[in-house]
Amino acid sequence: MKLSAREVAGYCARPDPEAAGLLLYGGDPMRVAHRRQQAVAALIGPQGEAEMRLARIAGADLRRDPAALMDAVKAQSFFPGPRVALVEEAGDSQAETIAAALGDWRPGDAQIVVTAGQLKPASKLRKLFEGHRSARAAAIYDDPPGREEIQAELARAGLAGASGPALDALFALGRTLEPGDFRQTLEKLALYKLDDETPLSAEEVGLLAPASTEAEADDVVHAAAEAREGEIGPLMQRLSAQGVTPVRLSIAAGRHFRQLYRAASDPEGPGKGIARLRPPVWGPRRDRMEKQARDWGAARLQTALQLLADTDRALRSANQTAPQMAVMERTLLRLSRLRGRR
């Protein structure tokens, strides 16, 4: 059975304990690992691994020892409770072995959880899980988490009572950080506020937010917005070397230019428009964005948003043949030249 994009988060948080298996695959290993960790923890509980109810098998090891998976599925732990046989970094070369284990799976056996990289629609592994009546296949995309997912993470960290600007700042952070980094930041915030009964502030969120490649991603977006064309190439090279994906840059650019468009379109002017943004923008960054909104104007920003939307579709298209980072760099250069026109 194939899970839709909207079903993935909910299913990984509450997977079917009676299912035979779950395949998680995608191009971002960190996001796949986050969903895998979430699903396994929900299936076996926080003590499951310590109680030897989790068997880990690397995909490469499964090629050398095909019987390892069947043994893990049928084995019994000294401790009662559900079990998971986890196959990490699998590929189509392991599909036959995994198919045999799924075919012989019976209620009471360990649930088979498999992680993989990007898989094409014709992938044997995808077809196996999508066509199995008691297994699920879930594609993990690079999209930022939704509001419900972020609220669930806040509740898990004990920060569900955050409100106002602090909550806006946390939502903004959750949509820019990688899932693991966001969870660690929430844990730090929870410890920071452990003996402090005052409400969490946006300034405290900013203080404990990790320094990351987001700053340089913002730099390249600002360079495009301010027509500093010569800075875009070097910044893109640095971001590429750090592993920042083109889709992530596309999301950051789209978010920034949507904010500029909302500000520039405000009936009371860009200043009032910036003040009404959610999450709010403070200090020098607010002044900088207000100037950008004035310099661009609503009409050119609308053109910029159309260009970014076209680029985002191209990056996510299976038919895209050009190198994705080059496509994103070309878009930022076009934005810079569009801003430079008078």
User: Along the 342 residues of the chain, how does pLDDT read in single tens digits?
Assistant: 999 988 998 899 999 999 999 999 988 787 898 899 999 999 999 899 889 999 999 998 998 899 999 999 999 888 889 999 999 999 999 999 999 999 999 999 999 999 999 899 999 999 999 999 999 999 997 666 666 777 777 777 777 677 778 777 777 777 667 777 777 788 888 888 877 778 888 778 877 776 554 567 888 999 999 999 999 998 888 888 777 788 888 988 998 999 999 999 988 888 888 888 876 676 677 889 999 999 999 999 999 999 999 998 888 776 666 788 999 999 999 999 998 765
pLDDT at residue 223, as a whole number = 93
Quote the number of domains for the chain.
3
The CATH number of whichever domain residue 291 belongs to comes to 1.20.272.10
Q: Note whether 203 and 226 are same-domain residues.
A: no
Q: Which of 139, 168, 187 is the last residue of a domain?
A: 139
Q: Note whether 230 and 244 are same-domain residues.
A: yes
Q: Note whether 237 and 123 are same-domain residues.
A: no
Q: Note whether 104 and 123 are same-domain residues.
A: yes
pLDDT at residue 214, as a whole number = 57
Q: Three-state SS string across the chain, please?
A: CECCHHHHHHHHHCCCCCCCEEEEECCCHHHHHHHHHHHHHHHHCCCCCCCCCEEEEEHHHHHHCCHHHHHHHHCCCCCCCCCEEEEEEECHHHHHHHHHHHHCCCCCCCEEEEEECCCCCCCHHHHHHHHCCCEEEEECCCCCCCHHHHHHHHHHHCCCCCCHHHHHHHHHHHCCCCHHHHHHHHHHHHHHCCCCCCCCCHHHHHHHCCCCCHHHHHHHHHHHHCCCHHHHHHHHHHHHHCCCCHHHHHHHHHHHHHHHHHHHCCCCCHHHHHHCCCCCCCHHHHHHHHHHHHHHHHHHHHHHHHHHHHHHHHHHCCCCCCCHHHHHHHHHHHHHHHHHCC
Q: Note whether 189 and 263 are same-domain residues.
A: no
Name the residue among 129, 140, 209, 134 with its Cα closest to residue 170: 209
pLDDT at residue 63, as a whole number = 87
pLDDT at residue 111, as a whole number = 97
Instruction: Kindly give the pairing relationship between strand 54-58 and strand 21-25.
Output: unpaired
Ramachandran sector of residue 83 (left: φ over 0; alpha: ψ -120 to 50; beta: rest)? beta
Q: Which of 167, 191, 208 is the last residue of a domain?
A: 208
pLDDT at residue 319, as a whole number = 63
Q: Note whether 303 and 225 are same-domain residues.
A: yes
Q: Note whether 85 and 163 are same-domain residues.
A: no
Q: Note whether 230 and 325 are same-domain residues.
A: yes
Q: Note whether 199 and 95 are same-domain residues.
A: no
Domain that holds residue 12: 5-139
Q: Note whether 92 and 184 are same-domain residues.
A: no
Q: Note whether 119 and 79 are same-domain residues.
A: yes
Q: Note whether 334 and 219 are same-domain residues.
A: yes
The CATH number of whichever domain residue 107 belongs to comes to 3.40.50.300
- pTM (global) more than 0.85: no
- Tokens representing 206 are 């900013």
d(CA 86, CA 313): 34
pLDDT at residue 222, as a whole number = 93
Q: Which of 79, 112, 139 is the last residue of a domain?
A: 139
